[in-house]
Structure 1
C-alpha cells in the first residue's frame, strides 16, 4: 500500500482563530481537547472489518460461548459476506465512493467479498446441495482496499449485498447478482457455497453455526447447522432486467457511521447481536435456521436486527425486503478502535 496523504491545516486554524478568538493566551488546553477530530485526509485507504461475538474474535471453528436466546455453545462453520458501494463521508455530508483496487482478488468493480473463515471451514465431504463450480479463494479477507481523493472525511457508509449490476471502466452495465452460474465475471462471484441457484443469485451473507448437541426439532430429529443465509428472494425471470431477473424482495441494506477514521477504526459484525433473538439450538421451521424465507418465523428477529423488512408492511405495499431506516442505527455492525 502507498502511504495515505493527509490534508495539512493551513496557518489559520479556523475563522475564530483568524479573528483572534481561537487561542487562549493562558495556555488552557481544554478548548483544544474539546475540538472534534479534524477528519481523515483521503488517499490510499483500507476499511477494516472484523467478525466477533461480543468482544471475542471469531474465525474458522472458533468456539463461541452462550450465543442466541438459548445461550447455546457453538462453533463457526461459515462466515462470509459481500459489501458494495463503500464510501467515505466528507465534512459536507457527501458520500464519496471508495475507488476499489481492482488488483485485489477479493474485489471486482464496486463489490468486495469478506471471508472471515478463510474458506477452510468448508467440509469437502459435506454435500449441502451446492454445485461445485469454483474452489474457495485461498486465505481469508477482512479488508476493503481502495482510494478516495484528498478531502476531509468524517464518516463511512456501505451496502451489504451483491448489486444487480455495476459499471465497468467502459461505462457498460455488468450483471453481478444474476449471471450465468458457471461463467461468473470474477472469482468472487463464483464461490459455489455463496451461489443461490434456487433464487438465481447469490447469498449476500452466510453465517453458519454448529451448536453443541446439534439443532433439535420438536419431533426429536436434529440437524448439525443453524444457518443464516441472506439474499434476494421472490426472483422472477425478466429479459428486460440486467442479468435477466428481477426480485420482489431485494434484501440489501445500508450501514452508515457518521464518525469514522480508517486509520484507527474497524467495522465489527457482532454475532452475539445478530443472533440475539434466535435460539440456535432448536428450529421447528422448514429450514434449519433462516434462509430469507418471508414465511419463516426464524427470520423475523434476525431481519429486524439487520434493519430489514421481512414482509410487506401492508398487502400490496411492495416494501418487503427493503431497509427499515437510513442505516445509522445498526444493531449488528459497530465501530471499535483497532489495535494497530
Structure 2
C-alpha cells in the first residue's frame, strides 16, 4: 500500500509540474509601454499647467497665461527600423484606448470622470534586434476614418473626436483657454466628396492631412515628447486665429507648416521628439 501511495503522489506531482510549465508557456508577455508626454518649452504639462504663448510681444498680442482644456490625437501604424530587417510593424495591444492598431492619446480636462491616456501599449519587441528609428502616422487611416462611430470599437467611437461621416475623425483636437480668450485647432481630412454630409466618401479626401512622423529611437527609450510650443510656433493665440483645417486660412497654413503638412518631406514635423542623447548619456 505504501508503494502505491507514493507512486500516486509522484504522479500527482508530475501532473502539477506539467500544468505549471504549460501555464507558463501560454502566459502572455507584459506589453511594452511607451509614454507620450506633453511639454511646452521643455517643461512637462498637465491640465493644471499655465504657459505663455510663443513670441507674444513680437506677434502683437498681450502676454497671458494659457491652459489646455483638451489635447488629444490619434496615431496609427507604429513601426521600428532595425539594422538587419529594415522597417517592421510594432503592433499595439487592444484596450479601451487602442483598437485596430490605432490609439487615441491625451486628455479632456473638464470632462466628468476625467482620465488621461498618454501610455501607449505595444506588443513586446524582439530584444535581439538593434533598433535605430521609430515612425508612426498622426491621424486615422482612410479605411476607418469615415465609418459609423456608433458601431466602431473604442477609441473610434469617441464623439468629441468625430466631425461626421463625410469629414471623418479629428486627428488632433487642441483647445486652449486663457482668462480672457480661447483658441482651438482641429486637424482632420478636408475636401472629402460624398453624396451628403452623412455619407462616407468612396475615395480619399483632397487634403488627407495625415502626418508621418519619424524619430531616432532605441529599445531603451520609453518617452516621446509632444511639444505644444512647436505646434503653435508663430501663432498668436486668439480666438480669431483658431483653425479647423481650412486650407486657405492663414493660421491653418502656419499650423500645417509646423506639422510638416504640404511640405516636400512629411517627416519634418517637430511636434514629436525623442531625447536620444539623454538616453545614451544615461
The bucket for the TM-score relative to the shorter chain is 0.7 to 0.9
Aligned to 2:146: 178
Regions of 4+ moved over 3 Å: 66-72, 242-246
Corresponding pairs, count? 241
Aligned to 2:208: 250
Structure 1 or 2: more strand by fraction: 1
Q: Structure 1's 68 and 113: CA in aligned 2 closer, same or farther, altered over 3 A?
A: farther
Q: Structure 1's 278 and 51: CA in aligned 2 closer, same or farther, altered over 3 A?
A: same
Verify the 8 A CA contact 1:48 1:262 in the aligned structure 2: no
Shift of 1:306: 0.4
Q: Verify: 1:192 aligned to 2:131, yes or no.
A: no
In structure 2, how many angstroms separate the alpha carbons of the residues matched to 1:293 and 1:93? Answer: 40
Aligned to 2:37: 50
Aligned to 1:159: 137
In structure 2, how many angstroms separate the alpha carbons of the residues matched to 1:93 and 1:301? Answer: 37
Determine helix, strand or coil for the equivalent of 1:65: coil
Q: Structure 1's 79 and 68: CA in aligned 2 closer, same or farther, altered over 3 A?
A: farther
Gaps of 5+ in 2: 1-27
Shift of 1:177: 0.7
In structure 1, how many angstroms separate the alpha carbons of the residues matched to 2:250 and 2:178? Answer: 19
Shift of 1:51: 0.7
Structure 1 or 2: more helix by fraction: 2
In structure 2, how many angstroms separate the alpha carbons of the residues matched to 1:296 and 1:68? Answer: 20
Q: Scaled by the length of structure 1, what TM-score is found?
A: 0.64
Aligned to 2:243: 290
Is the radius of gyration larger for structure 1 or structure 2? 2
In structure 1, how many angstroms separate the alpha carbons of the residues matched to 2:152 and 2:135? Answer: 25
In structure 2, how many angstroms separate the alpha carbons of the residues matched to 1:261 and 1:97? Answer: 15
Q: Structure 1's 48 and 261: CA in aligned 2 closer, same or farther, altered over 3 A?
A: farther
Determine helix, strand or coil for the equivalent of 2:235: coil
Gaps of 5+ in 1: 4-43, 125-135, 166-175, 215-224, 310-322
Determine helix, strand or coil for the equivalent of 2:52: strand
Aligned to 1:84: 76
Aligned counterparts, 1:39-188, within 5 A? 44-67=31-54, 69=56, 70=61, 71-92=63-84, 94-102=86-94, 104-115=95-106, 117=107, 119-122=108-111, 139-147=115-123, 148-150=125-127, 151-165=129-143, 176-181=144-149, 183-188=150-155
